[in-house]
Amino acid sequence: MPKKLKKEKNQTAISRRDMLKLGAAAGAATILGPTILTSRKSTVYAQGTVAEPVLCPPTPVPQSPPHTPFVDNLPIPSPAVPQLLSPAPTETANTLNGEAARDPHQRWAEFTPAVTYQLELKAGTHQFHRDYLPTYIWGFNGQYPGPTILNAYGVPSLVRFKNSLPTTTTSFGTNKTTVHLHNAHTASESDGFAGDFFNTGLFKDNHYANAYAGIDAFPGNFPKGDSREAQFTMWYHDHLMAETANNNYLGLNGTYLLYNDKCPPWEFSSPGSIRLPAYYGVTDIPLFLAQKRFCATNATTGRTEAFQVVGAAAPSTDKFIVNGKIQPKLEVRRRKYRFRIINTGVVLPFTLSLHGPDGVQKPMTVVASDGNLLLTPADCSATSGFPLLDVNVSSRMDVVIDFSQFSVGQSVYLKENTQTPQFVSSPTPPDPAPGVPIGTVMMRFDVVGNAVIPDTPPIPSTLTDFPPIPAASSPPFEWGFRFIPGQADGNNFRVSHSAIPEDNASHVATFLPFDPFRVDHAVLKGSTEEWIIRNDTLAGNWLHPVHIHFEEGRILERTVCTVPSATGCLPANRTPVTMPPWENGNNARRDVYPVPGQHRLKIRLAFRDFVGRYLIHCHNMNHEDAFMMVRWDIVESMAELRQRREQINAERIARGEAPLYRKEDLG
Ligand SMILES: [Cu+2]
């Protein structure tokens, strides 16, 4: 035991930036080699001419400059424009012409890209408010939020992510990247695995089949796969190990929407359509939520720079941002609108409600959670029993707001209920509506007239149907999300795991930091597993929004421990927790599973169509960067499963740990 503790201490002493170096060095065979071969290509891409930021000192923590509420219009992120790529995309990585190393695209011939895009990661400036000077950002095509990709199921796409980030920077970003499309059904080599980062000067082609999960089970369908698996609202973002928070805070994220017969990009009647508000940027609008803090405006540099609020000992933010603006306004007509709310981080949940000019709460109808249509729509309102809409980091909540309930000339407010209210100006302006302090308002909707485009019909009472929950092929696999007391900030979150249910000892003993080359669980393609997600940290600590790449799941059960225990809740002490209809597995599918202290969630996942490396991690970006993330793999065959599980056991025994898999679990 003393030996093991010593080893763990050494491992946890690794800094986050050391981990990046380790990732590059340990991956020399697969990552560094091709990088060296192609590094001369870095001069192909001209670096931006944006002056690097002059950051303000870390102490004292500045108060952001004041702003006038509701003077900027809500920006609509521009749609990405398809373009032909040169060099043309290839199945195997085109490392001789500047592509980063990767495994060959899976199912390339089956899903030949019909549309291609290029998004260039580069420095830029962005004005977050009329009263501010421009702020240094990193963005896709230099813009924040990045361009919105609009595409359809059945139309395979390829996005070339070109890393033109500065070779040196005075910002708090790290100029390597890997881009995850959350939570597309994507082959591993295009999934933005956190260890698959590549350097500035290189590009990487991510191939998106835009097929539903279940391709192999429904080979005759068009679009391929099981249409009940459709997801509509996704977002793409930097997923660089140990630096995701910084790079996202700088602006490396954008929206990716998929359409199909059920949700086409139009509102008129068409076969299969449920006729939700659908005109992008007009009646169907992404709301990209974020928090920031800013330095004092610097007249010499001509900038109002962002203050670093991520990393060790992070101070809190004091401005709420929607689509890149502080407290914007949006003119709306008296009709229904769909808003696709996305929490882009970095670490706090938004807890939202809608209020009329009299301050009274008004309903928002939730139609989708994490991109998946709900079985039946559900109101977030004062009378529904669920008055607040929790949007954890990376979760998406699609709501329909019917502005026909208001009169022309009235204003409506989107309120944040749990975070410290933002600083607006001093003295604080009066409340815009009774019980709605100005600092709590995310944005304002101004009802300016009757509908011009005819309103959509009432929201159907049934939006979709779900595939059946498949039987699990093995005992539940348990993942534990743990805060590790006594460790340095930035290095104090871990994921434990065990293949044996109720095996509390393993969860206490096993908590290695993320290592892209260590596999903590291997699953068989085509199998279904029940996973338990548990947070044994005592209540009062963080809620962890756990994200599982690649497949959607349904929460079958949520319990809280009535006799709190840091070492594992006894079964007799677990009591069910009522879940809102946008979380309950009877009505909702998810890919972000919020797990507060002393909670246990039971979910079931099928692993289909592709193989390779995937992730389970907390999506609080500071937490995933502090190593609350592990790799799990999907393998092709029973023989490979057995070999990989034996290898995992052998590596654990070599570390002085108990084997993970029993003989009967080896496959
Ligand atoms: Cu967390």
Distance 639 CA to ligand 1 centre (A): 35
For residue range 503-544, list pLDDT tens digits in order.
Answer: 999 888 767 899 999 999 999 999 999 999 999 998 677 899
Residue 552 resides in a domain: yes
For residue range 550-568, list pLDDT tens digits in order.
Answer: 999 999 999 999 999 999 9
Q: Which domain holds residue 234?
A: 19-47+74-261
Residue 139 resides in a domain: yes
Q: Please tell me the total count of domains within the chain.
A: 2
Residue 494 resides in a domain: yes
Asked whether residue 35 carries a pLDDT value surpassing 70, the answer given is no
For residue range 404-448, list pLDDT tens digits in order.
Answer: 999 999 999 999 999 999 999 999 999 999 999 999 999 999 999
Residue 324 resides in a domain: no
Which of 223, 244, 261 is the endpoint of a domain? 261
Q: Report, as an integer, the average pLDDT of 456-471.
A: 96
Confidence of residue 36 (pLDDT cuts 50, 70, 90): very low
Confidence of residue 15 (pLDDT cuts 50, 70, 90): low
Distance 494 CA to ligand 1 centre (A): 9
Distance 375 CA to ligand 1 centre (A): 28
Distance 628 CA to ligand 1 centre (A): 7
Distance 363 CA to ligand 1 centre (A): 30
Share of the chain above pLDDT 70, in %: 92
Q: What is the distance between the alpha carbons of residues 148 and 117, in angstroms, rounded to a whole number?
A: 11
Closest CA to 223 of 274, 270, 153: 153
Distance 393 CA to ligand 1 centre (A): 10
Residue 43 resides in a domain: yes
Per the prediction, the chain carries an average pLDDT of: 91
Closest CA to 377 of 587, 78, 154: 587
Confidence of residue 30 (pLDDT cuts 50, 70, 90): very low
What b/e readout covers 560-594, taking b as 16+ CB neighbours within 10 angstroms?
bbeeeeeebbeeeebeeeebbbbbbbebbbbbbbb
Least confident stretch, 18-32, 244-258, 359-373, 467-481: 18-32
Residue 451 resides in a domain: no
Kindly give the pairing relationship between strand 350-355 and strand 336-343: unpaired
Distance 237 CA to ligand 1 centre (A): 18
Give this prediction's pTM.
0.93
Q: Domain holding 637: CATH number?
A: 2.60.40.420
Distance 492 CA to ligand 1 centre (A): 10
Confidence of residue 487 (pLDDT cuts 50, 70, 90): confident
Distance 235 CA to ligand 1 centre (A): 19
Q: What is the distance between the alpha carbons of residues 125 and 42, in angstroms, rounded to a whole number?
A: 22
Distance 598 CA to ligand 1 centre (A): 14
Which of 221, 246, 261 is the endpoint of a domain? 261
Q: Report, as an integer, the average pLDDT of 212-236.
A: 96
Confidence of residue 664 (pLDDT cuts 50, 70, 90): confident
Beta bridge pairs of residue 560: 575, 599
pLDDT attached to residue 316: 87
Distance 619 CA to ligand 1 centre (A): 6
Distance 242 CA to ligand 1 centre (A): 14
For residue range 622-648, list pLDDT tens digits in order.
Answer: 999 989 999 999 999 999 999 999 999
Asked whether 444 and 412 are in contact (CB, 8 A), the reply is yes
Residue 489 resides in a domain: yes
Distance 594 CA to ligand 1 centre (A): 9
Distance 273 CA to ligand 1 centre (A): 38
Q: Which residue has the higher pLDDT, 17 or 196?
A: 196
Alpha carbon 184 to chain centroid distance? 11
Distance 314 CA to ligand 1 centre (A): 14
Which of 231, 261, 291 is the endpoint of a domain? 261
Tokens 């946008």 found at: 582
For residue range 381-391, list pLDDT tens digits in order.
Answer: 999 999 999 99
